[in-house]
């Protein structure tokens, strides 16, 4: 269809399809992605934030270039008001200001961004991995495997995340008196939170991948592979998975941006990241009362949350368009049969959308 699509006259409201014959799928995707201005803008913004966050205050013991860290208390300058200014363009001592006991907000925001990005990546990796495996197994083998795995996802879907987070926070509070898990959670709060959220957010992805696999396994090319003697593993990984990768990537990016918001919500409710460590969510929930009095404590971390979420969403949007299934042969049937859709995971886990709590 890509071929005849390229010959088609553009219709009003429908973009002309640019790519020519002879490009591999990867090349097509890359080309389309690079042509998506929103996605590129998102990528640039995210890259800047990423580099800034991880180099400025250091990471895992590696020192950064910024003079303060997020725990250091220094004397209040100018009552904690941000020293950065646009005209004259100056950075100043505490560009984003200071909190009540004199910690540097720039350092805290950067540390928070690190943590939020960590949470996001961990969730993306874990949810992606489990989601793909469970979805693939249940969609490909069907039968008992499917029944058991899908009922397992049902159980996880209905157990409230907030409750699990509360239990986790309590275990982290026990420190070394509560066994290895508590010790780990106490010293790696953010990592533990990310793993935990990853362990419960994979269900959406699993359902989606199952849908994909259900329809793809009935396709001719799978039959062809099977007849030529390919093993199940080979069919799953070499034949079916590459065809589902577009849907997968899109949903992982959406899960990731929702993850930051989930972390924010949990921190607001007191069961997320705990002081003295910090995260963007914790910063704005700690400082929400400062909204009218010291707004910078609220605006800067908030700005970073919005920027990270927006850039990730736009990257995901670009990927979605780049992998747009409608320009591949299997589109129509797949979308119908699976009963699932690339964007089904869109309303995920933002804690307080009406859909979820």
CB of 270 to another protein, least distance (A): 7
Closest to another protein by CB, 61 vs 75, is 75
Judged by CB under 8 A, the chain residues 70 through 109 that form the site for another protein are 73, 100-101
Taking CB under 8 A as the rule, does residue 290 contact another protein? Answer: yes
Mask for 307-346, x = binds another protein (CB under 8 A): -xxx--xx--x--x---xxxx---xx--xxx-x-xxxx-x
HSE (side-chain half, CA atoms, 13 Å) at 44: 6
Q: Which of 129, 157, 179, 242 binds another protein (CB under 8 A)?
A: 157
How many residues bind another protein, per CB under 8 A?
87
Cis omega (within 30 of 0) for bond into 142: no
Closest to another protein by CB, 239 vs 264, is 264
Taking CB under 8 A as the rule, does residue 270 contact another protein? Answer: yes
Instruction: Give the gyration radius of the chain's Cα atoms.
Output: 23
3-state secondary structure 231-252: CHHHHHHHHHHHHHHHHHHHHH
Cis omega (within 30 of 0) for bond into 162: no
Question: DSSP readout, 103-120?
Answer: BBHHHHHHHHHHHHHHHH
Taking CB under 8 A as the rule, does residue 18 contact another protein? Answer: no
Query: Are residues 318 and 249 in contact, defined by beta-carbon separation less than 8 angstroms?
Result: no
Q: Nearest 10 degrees: CA dihedral of 116, 117, 121, 124? A: 60
Give the residue from 118, 333, 126, 348 showing the smallest Cα distance to 251: 348
Query: Are residues 247 and 206 in contact, defined by beta-carbon separation less than 8 angstroms?
Result: no
Sign of CA dihedral 169, 351, 356, 184: negative
Taking CB under 8 A as the rule, does residue 352 contact another protein? Answer: yes
Cα(293)–Cα(95) distance, integer angstroms: 18
Q: Which of 174, 219, 226, 328 binds another protein (CB under 8 A)?
A: 174
Taking CB under 8 A as the rule, does residue 210 contact another protein? Answer: no
CB of 182 to another protein, least distance (A): 9
Q: Which of 177, 228, 229, 233 binds another protein (CB under 8 A)?
A: 177
Taking CB under 8 A as the rule, does residue 113 contact another protein? Answer: no
Closest to another protein by CB, 210 vs 239, is 210
CB of 340 to another protein, least distance (A): 8
Cα(98)–Cα(79) distance, integer angstroms: 8
Taking CB under 8 A as the rule, does residue 172 contact another protein? Answer: yes
Q: Which of 43, 169, 197, 235 binds another protein (CB under 8 A)?
A: 169
């Amino acid at each position: 269809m890509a071929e005849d699509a390229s010959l088609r006259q553009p219709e009003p409201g429908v973009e002309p399809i640019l790519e020519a014959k002879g490009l591999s799928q990867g090349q097509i995707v890359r080309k389309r992605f690079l042509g998506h201005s929103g996605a590129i803008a998102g990528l640039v913004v995210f890259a800047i934030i990423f580099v800034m966050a991880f180099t400025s205050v250091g990471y895992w013991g590696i020192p950064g270039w910024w003079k303060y860290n997020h725990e250091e208390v220094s004397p209040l300058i100018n009552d904690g008001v941000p020293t950065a200014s646009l005209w004259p363009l100056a950075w100043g001592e505490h560009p984003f200001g200071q909190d009540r006991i004199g910690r540097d907000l720039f350092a805290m925001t950067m540390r928070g961004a690190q943590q939020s990005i960590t949470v996001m990546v961990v969730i993306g990796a874990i949810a992606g991995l489990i989601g793909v495996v469970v979805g693939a197994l249940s969609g490909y083998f069907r039968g008992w495997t499917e029944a058991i795995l899908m009922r397992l996802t049902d159980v996880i879907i209905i157990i409230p995340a907030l409750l699990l987070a509360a239990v986790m926070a309590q275990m982290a509070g026990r420190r070394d008196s509560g066994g290895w898990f508590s010790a780990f959670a106490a010293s790696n709060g953010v990592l533990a939170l990310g793993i935990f959220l990853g362990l419960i957010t994979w269900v959406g992805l699993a359902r989606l991948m199952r849908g994909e696999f259900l329809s793809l396994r009935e396709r001719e090319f799978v039959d062809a592979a099977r007849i030529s003697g390919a093993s199940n593993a080979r069919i799953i990984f070499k034949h079916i998975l590459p065809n589902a990768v577009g849907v997968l990537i899109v949903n992982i990016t959406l899960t990731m941006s929702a993850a930051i918001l989930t972390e924010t919500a949990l921190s607001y409710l007191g069961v997320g990241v705990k002081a003295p460590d910090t995260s963007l969510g914790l910063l704005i929930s700690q400082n929400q009362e400062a909204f009218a009095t010291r707004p910078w404590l609220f605006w800067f971390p908030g700005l970073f949350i919005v920027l990270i979420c927006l850039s990730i969403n736009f990257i995901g949007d670009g990927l979605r368009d780049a992998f747009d299934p409608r320009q591949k042969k299997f589109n129509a049937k797949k979308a119908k049969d699976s009963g699932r859709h690339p964007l089904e995971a869109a309303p995920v886990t933002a804690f307080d959308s009406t859909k979820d709590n």
